[in-house]
Structures are given as C-alpha cells and as structure tokens.
Amino acid sequence: MRASLIQIEVDPDESVESRRVRAGSLVREQRGSDLVVLPELWPVGAFAFESFGTEAEPLEGPTFEAMSAAALDAGVWLHAGSIVERDPDGPLYNTSLIFSPDGELARTYRKIHRFGFDKGEAVLMSAGDELVTLTLPETKVGVATCYDLRFPELFRALVDAGAQTLVIPAGWPARRRAHWSLLARARAVENQTYVLACGTAGTHAGVEQAGYSVVVDPWGEVLAEAGAAEEVLTVDLDMARVAKTREEFPALKDRVLGR
C-alpha cells in the first residue's frame, strides 16, 4: 500500500481559499498512492483560535467540496485532515473528513481529546465521543487527531476494534516536537501497527509548527520522516508486516488489564 502524507504549510498570509486550492493540487499530484493524508485544521491553523468561529464550516462546506473533488480526480482514499465544523445546532467540532476514491464521504471523526486545558480548542470546541475505524482494501485504519496521541487508551480501543494502521493528522507545535516523535513511535510499538502521523509546517498565531511528519512500522522503525518545511512523504507499506509482527512477538496476547 502506498501512502502519501502532505505536510502542508499553514501561512497566515495565504488565504484559506488559496490554501484549499493548493491542498487540492497537492492531493491530485499523489495519483498512484492508495491513501493520502492531510494534517489537522490546515485550512485555518490549529492555533488560530480567534479564526475558529469565522472560518467554521458546515460539514459539507467548501473544504468538503474541494477535498471530495480532489479524492475523485486523484482516485485515492483521502484522509483530508480536519476542519472547524459548525454543527447545525451551533457547537464547533474539530472534525476529520475521509473520502473514498470516488469522492464520497466515507467517515468523519470528531476529535475526542481537546487541547488547551482552560483555553483555545478546549473551550471553543465540543468533544467527539465516537471511535472511528475504516476498512480499506489493504488495511483497517483507526483514526485520531493531534492531542489524542497522548492518550494510549484511545489507540488500544482502536486496536481492539481491529485497527492495523493508525492515521493521525496533527498541528503539533515545534516546542513539543520531541513528544510528537516519541509518542508516534510508542503508539506503533505498543499496538504493533503502522503509524502515519501528518503534521503542518510554518508558523501561525505565533506558534511554530513542528513538521516532522512520520511513518512508523509495527516494530517501531521510522520508515520516513519529514523535515520542518512543507513536504510530501510517500512510502510503500507492506501490510503483511502487521500480522507478522504480532505473530512473531505476540505481546498483545499477554495483556492482563482492560481486556
């Protein structure tokens, strides 16, 4: 399975509309990949809290339209990262959109763990409460978003639901890049899954983004890692490695708690 992670730059001097067009072109360039991933809140920026209200979109808004068309044109499964979704009843959610190669919406995922403690996303957004997996031709995917990465119980629940590949769009800040890289590998090792973790590049709202998107195999080896700037990572994944790793080193079978 070929996967491409688009570590797009979120530049506050670029309009959201221009970035949407650019993201669409970047997705179309990945024709030949099976799965393409964009990061968290790339239209507006994960730390641009003051724009969340003004840039919020209905689920089937402009980002949905642009990404559905791009998935169809490229003929790829597209995890289009997340948008600020305005629910018809009013609340905002950090909602991921996943499209099939025919441009149809296959899944949505509302971020469960909201970042910011007593400010930012934690107060502006509502929390999702649903685990999301998706069966692709080659693998079963479990999804999570950014701060979710710090909560191993979510990933264990996704693995119990059959996930073999964890896809994690993020807008992780550079200040905590060491945590990002460590946690992405930890999630792969402890769950014996592939991890595709796709962050943003650039600086917005005064927050430098980490970049360093990474693809980790089920043994915890880093297969590909981006730098800090905008970049597309393309990796070929041998999906048999998940079952093989779990057979050869069956630690998941030795769980005592939480089964």
Q: Is 111 a catalytic residue?
A: yes
**Would you say 213 and 199 are in contact if contact means Cβ atoms under 8 Å apart?**
yes
Minimum separation from the CB atom of position 147 to ligand OAA (A)? 3
115 is a site residue for ligand OAA (CB under 6 A)? yes
173 is a site residue for ligand OAA (CB under 6 A)? yes
39 is a site residue for ligand OAA (CB under 6 A)? no
Q: Which of 5, 23, 46, 232 binds ligand OAA (CB under 6 A)?
A: 46
Cα atoms found within 13 Å of the Cα of residue 240, Cβ hemisphere only: 0
d(CA 199, CA 222): 15
* 3-state SS, residue 223: strand
Q: In sequence order, which residues have a C-beta less than 8 Å from that of residue 21 and are 6 or more positions away?
A: 66
119 is a site residue for ligand OAA (CB under 6 A)? no
d(CA 173, CA 36): 22
Nearer to ligand OAA, 46 or 232 (CB): 46
Nearer to ligand OAA, 176 or 255 (CB): 176
Q: Is 208 a catalytic residue?
A: no
109 is a site residue for ligand OAA (CB under 6 A)? no
Amino acid symbol at 236: D
Tokens of 144: 């999570």
146 is a site residue for ligand OAA (CB under 6 A)? yes
d(CA 46, CA 206): 11
Nearer to ligand OAA, 34 or 40 (CB): 40
CB atoms within 10 A of CB 139: 22
Q: Determine the interface stretch with ligand OAA among 17-25, 50-58, 171-179, 238-246 (rule: CB under 6 A).
A: 171-179
Q: Is 119 a catalytic residue?
A: no
Nearer to ligand OAA, 94 or 191 (CB): 94
Catalytic residue among 140, 146, 198, 230: 146
Minimum separation from the CB atom of position 214 to ligand OAA (A)? 15
d(CA 85, CA 91): 8
d(CA 259, CA 243): 20
130 secondary structure, DSSP code = -
Residues acting as catalytic residues: 40, 111, 146
Q: Which residues bind ligand OAA (CB under 6 A)?
A: 46, 115, 146-147, 150, 171-173, 176
